[in-house]
A = this chain, B = another copy of it.
Amino acid sequence: MKFKELAIKNPGDLYFGTAPNPVKTPRGLVIGGGNIYPELNFTLPEMSINKTDYSAVLKQYREIVTGALDHAVHLYSDGIVLELETLIEMTQIPQMGIDIVKIMNEICEENFIKHGLKSEIRLTPNDLREFERPPKQRTTKLIEPMMELFERGALAGGNLLSIESTGGKEISDDALMMCDIKQFIFSQAVLGVRDMEMLWGKIVAIAKKTATIPGGDTACGFGNTAMVLAEKKYIPKVFAAVARIATVVRTLVAVEQGAKGPDKDCGYEGPFLKAITGIPISMEGKTSACAHLSPLGNVAAACADLWSNESVQNVKLLAGMAPTVYYEQLQYDTRLMNEAIKGGKQDILQLQKLFVNSDTFYDPQAFILSPKSVIEISKEIVKGENYIDATKRGCLKGLELIENAIMEGTLLRDEKEDVWIEMLKSDIASIPENESDFVELILPTIDQSKVILSEYGL
Say which residue of B74, B298, B332 sits within 8 Å of A297 (CB atoms). B332
Which of A104-112, A315-323, A420-428 is the contact stretch?
A315-323
What sequence of 0s and 1s flags, for each residue 237-271 of chain A, a beta carbon within 8 Å of any chain B beta carbon?
00000000000000000000000000000000000
Establish whether residues A358 and B338, one from each chain, have CB atoms under 8 Å apart when the complex forms.
Answer: yes
- Chain B residues with CB under 8 Å of A290's CB are 317-319, 325
> Looking across the interface, which residue of chain B has its beta carbon closest to that of A333?
B286
Q: Which of A231, A286, A315 has the most CB of B within 10 A?
A: A286
Residues of B within 8 A of A351 (CB): 351, 354
Say yes or no for A93: interface residue by CB 8 A criterion.
no
Q: Which 7 A-B pairs have the closest CB atoms?
A: A297-B332, A286-B332, A339-B358, A335-B358, A289-B328, A289-B325, A339-B354
Chain B residue, CB-CB nearest to A339: B358
Asked if B328 and A293 make an inter-chain contact with CB atoms under 8 angstroms apart, the answer reads yes
How far, in whole Å, are A289 and B347 apart by their CA atoms in the complex? 27
Q: Is A88 on the interface with B (CB-CB < 8 A)?
A: no
Residues of B contacting A355 with CB < 8 Å?
A: 336
Taking CB atoms, residues of chain B closer than 8 Å to A357 are 339
Q: What are 22 A-B residue pairs whose CB atoms fall within 8 Å in the complex?
A: A285-B332, A286-B328, A286-B333, A289-B325, A289-B328, A290-B319, A291-B317, A291-B318, A292-B319, A293-B324, A293-B325, A294-B328, A297-B335, A315-B317, A332-B359, A336-B358, A338-B358, A339-B357, A339-B358, A343-B354, A351-B351, A351-B354
Question: Residue A212 at the B interface, CB < 8 A?
Answer: no
Interface size on A, residues (CB 8 A): 51
User: A76: CB under 8 A from chain B?
Assistant: yes
Knowing A286-B328, A332-B285, A336-B358 are in contact, say whether A319-B297 is a contact too (CB < 8 A).
Answer: no
| Inter-chain contacts of A339 with B (CB < 8 A) | 354, 357-358
A303 adjacent to chain B (CB < 8 Å): no
Binary per-residue interface labels of chain A (342-358) against chain B in the complex, 1 for a CB within 8 Å, 0 otherwise: 01000100110011011
Q: Which of B74, B287, B354 contacts A347 (CB 8 A)?
A: B354
Chain B residues whose CB sits within 8 angstroms of the CB of A287 once the complex forms: 329
Nearest Cβ in chain B — how far from A24, in angstroms?
25
Taken together as a complex, chains A and B put the C-alpha atoms of A303 and B358 apart, in Å, by: 19
Judged by a CB distance under 8 angstroms, whether A3 is at the interface is no
Cβ of A71 < 8 Å from any Cβ of B? yes
Q: Does A313 contact B (CB under 8 A)?
A: yes
> How far is B347's CA from A354's CA once the two chains are assembled, in angstroms?
9
A438: Cβ under 8 A from any B Cβ: no
- Given that A347-B354, A354-B351, A357-B339 are contacting pairs, would A317 and B313 also be in contact in the complex, using a CB cutoff of 8 Å? yes
Q: Which of B318, B331, B340 contacts A312 (CB 8 A)?
A: B318
**Cα(A326)–Cα(B333), bound, Å:** 15
Select A315's contact among B285, B293, B315, B325, beta carbons within 8 Å: B315
Out of B43, B291, B340, B354, name the residue touching A336 (CB < 8 Å).
Answer: B354
Q: Does A183 contact B (CB under 8 A)?
A: no
In the complex the two chains form, what is the Cα distance from A285 to B340 in whole Å? 19
For the complex, give the distance between the alpha carbons of A343 and B352 in Å: 13
Residues of B within 8 A of A322 (CB): 317
A311 interfacial contact with B, CB 8 Å = yes
Chain B nearest CB, measured from A31 CB (Å): 20
- How far, in whole Å, are A333 and B332 apart by their CA atoms in the complex? 12
Q: Please, how many angstroms separate the alpha-carbon atoms of A287 and B320 in the complex?
A: 14
- Min CB distance A174 to B, Å, is 24
A40 CB, min distance to chain B CBs, angstroms: 13
Q: Verify A293–B71 contact, CB threshold 8 A.
A: yes
Q: Are A332 and B298 in contact (CB under 8 A)?
A: yes
Shortest beta-carbon distance from A153 to chain B in Å: 24
Please, which residues of chain B bring their CB within 8 A of the CB of A358? 332, 335-336, 338-339
Contact between B289 and A335, CB atoms less than 8 A apart: no
A328 and B71 contacting across the interface, CB-CB below 8 Å? no
A347 / chain B contacts, CB cutoff of 8 Å: 350, 354
Residues on B with C-beta less than 8 A from A331 are 297
